[in-house]
Amino acid sequence: MSQQTIKYFFTLCLLAFVQLSWAVSLPAVFSDNMVLQQNSELIIWGWGKPMEKISISTPWDGNILSTEASSQGTWSVAVKTPKGSITAYNLTIKGYNEIVLKNVLIGEVWLCSGQSNMEWTANMGINNAQEEVKQAKYPKIRFFSVTHRTAITPQIDLEGQWAECSPESMQNFSAVAYFFARKLQAELKVPIGLLNSSWGGTPAECWMPSETFEGNDLILTAAKKLEPVPWGPTEIARIYNAMIEPLTKFKIAGALWYQGESNVSTAYAYKETMTALISSWRKKWGQEFPFYYCQIAPYKYGNPVEGAALRDAQRRTLTVPNTGMVVTSDIGDTTDIHPRNKQDVGLRLANLALVKQYKIKNGLVEGPYYLSHRANANQMLVYFANAEGLHFKGNKITHFELAGEDGIFYPAEAKINKDNLVEVQAEKVTRPTMVRYAWGNTATPNLFNGVGLPASCFSSK
């Protein structure tokens, strides 16, 4: 080979390397098969060479949007999306190179997060798993699975990929999230995108940015009590930094949360923790999006009442605006921390969204939960929200208790009066001051409203 030929070959290699180093690139969440939030102004962002000219062609409106990479090699473009439809698009991003994102849909995008009950898949074992997997042919539902990672500092990207819903993809995706999306897609008639960022056995503190703990001694002290475990992190912000922060510029419709089992030992701080988590996520996204969550199911934890205390903290978190809670006490399994009925959990979450967020349905979509109480002689009158059609299953209402000024609770008898109030009375308590309901780890309440949704446990103390 001549010296001139060698020089020419070297020059071609150098040019190829330079062009590769100039290549415009995107975060993992922008890929083939993705779903973008409908009716929104959203951001598409990425990286390139400083001062690189970048354009984005949006085929739904025929626009070409242009920008230039900053001196730090970052760029972003504001894009307007239309109403969702079944039309699939190819989205083109050009810099020194060209990226074509294929089979892109526009619809509703939801973030799904938490620990193992959110992460739980059909392959791990759910009711009617074989038939559910077989029927999971919904190409307008798309899954994005975030790979487990931790980081000490907030990250700019993560690992994951979008996939069409098929029997092959559904069986390894969050079952709760899938059943939620299946109901939403059937009712809204638009594509549904799900971002699944969950990790079994992890406490809520891992999912919150570190600055959330500054100046909040209650949640910081509780976080310091979390002990290391072999199956995942327990340190504050470690999962947030790697698995949530990189998504915070991606437009979503709302968030679903199924977590709490790993926080039962610090249930006293959980309401404050959850309030801080919800607030921090909304601040990071710059959206006051709906946040719907699942109350953990009755299960035999170590301390006799720590599960009930955590569930009550979840109930109290409903004071945070634009939230909703699914009670699972009637579809749980006190011997299994992973109840296999994920269909009803997903359906109840979807009904919350359809009524509260999308307003295309009416009626009750939450179970009764405690509002207040009032002493009436030797009785306690208990008022519930969502109490229309209040009734009990079985021979009598179970799991109510009363206490007087001494703070000692005794089993009580209860009945429902014509105003959907519950009258509670205990032989050993002549002047009741406190009332509680289903106050035990495995207590399975039998009080329901008119649409068959169970009442949440509570303590007025």
Q: For residue 149, count CB atoms less than 10 angstroms from its CB and return exposed for 0-12, middle for 13-18, buried for 19 or more.
A: middle
d(CA 259, CA 202): 8
Cα within 13 Å of Cα(339), Cβ side: 24
Q: For residue range 394-427, list pLDDT tens digits in order.
A: 999 999 999 999 999 999 999 999 889 999 999 9
The CB density around residue 388, as the number of other CB atoms within 10 Å, is: 13
383 three-class SS: strand
Enter the DSSP assignment of 226.
P
In this predicted model, what pLDDT tens digit does every residue of 190-211 receive, in sequence order? Answer: 999 999 999 999 999 999 999 9
Instruction: Please compute, for residue 236, the number of CA atoms within 13 A of its CA located in the half-sphere on the CB side.
Output: 17
In degrees, rounded to 5, the angle at the alpha carbon of residue 196 between the alpha carbons of residues 190 and 199 is 160
Residue 418 exposure: Cα atoms within 13 Å on the Cβ side? 0
Q: What is the pLDDT of residue 4?
A: 53
pLDDT of residue 404: 97
pLDDT band at residue 2 using 50, 70 and 90 as cut-offs: low
CA 182/CA 339 separation, integer angstroms? 20
Token output for 27:
């975060």
59-63, 86-90, 143-147, 415-419, range with the lowest pLDDT: 415-419
pLDDT surpassing 90 at residue 6: no
Confidence of residue 451 (pLDDT cuts 50, 70, 90): very high
Instruction: Strands of 81-225 (E only): list them.
Output: 85-94, 98-114, 138-146, 160-165, 192-198
**What residues contact residue 198 under an 8 Å CB cut-off, 6+ apart?**
112, 113, 114, 115, 116, 118, 119, 174, 258
Lowest-pLDDT range of 5-19, 78-92, 113-127: 5-19
Of the candidates 154, 144, 92, the one whose C-alpha atom is nearest the C-alpha of residue 113 is 144
pTM score over 0.85? yes
Q: What single-letter amino acid sits at 74?
A: T
Percent of the chain with pLDDT over 70: 95
Closest CA to 193 of 205, 185, 202: 185
CA angle 52, 56, 59 (to 5 degrees): 165
pLDDT tens-digit profile of 364-398?
Answer: 999 999 999 999 999 999 999 999 999 999 999 99
Of 413, 394, 389, nearest to 402 (Cα)?
Answer: 413
Domains by residue range for the chain, with CATH: 20-105 (2.60.40.10), 106-357 (3.40.50.1110), 369-459 (no CATH)
Is a pLDDT exceeding 80 seen at residue 149?
A: yes
Question: Which pLDDT band holds residue 14 (cuts at 50, 70, 90)?
Answer: very low
Segment (H or E) for 284: helix 270-285
Residue with tokens 């109930």: 315
Lowest mean pLDDT among 195-199, 273-277, 359-363: 359-363
Per-residue model confidence as pLDDT tens digits over 235-270: 999 999 999 999 999 999 999 999 999 999 999 999
User: Where do we find the tokens 């069986």?
Assistant: 171
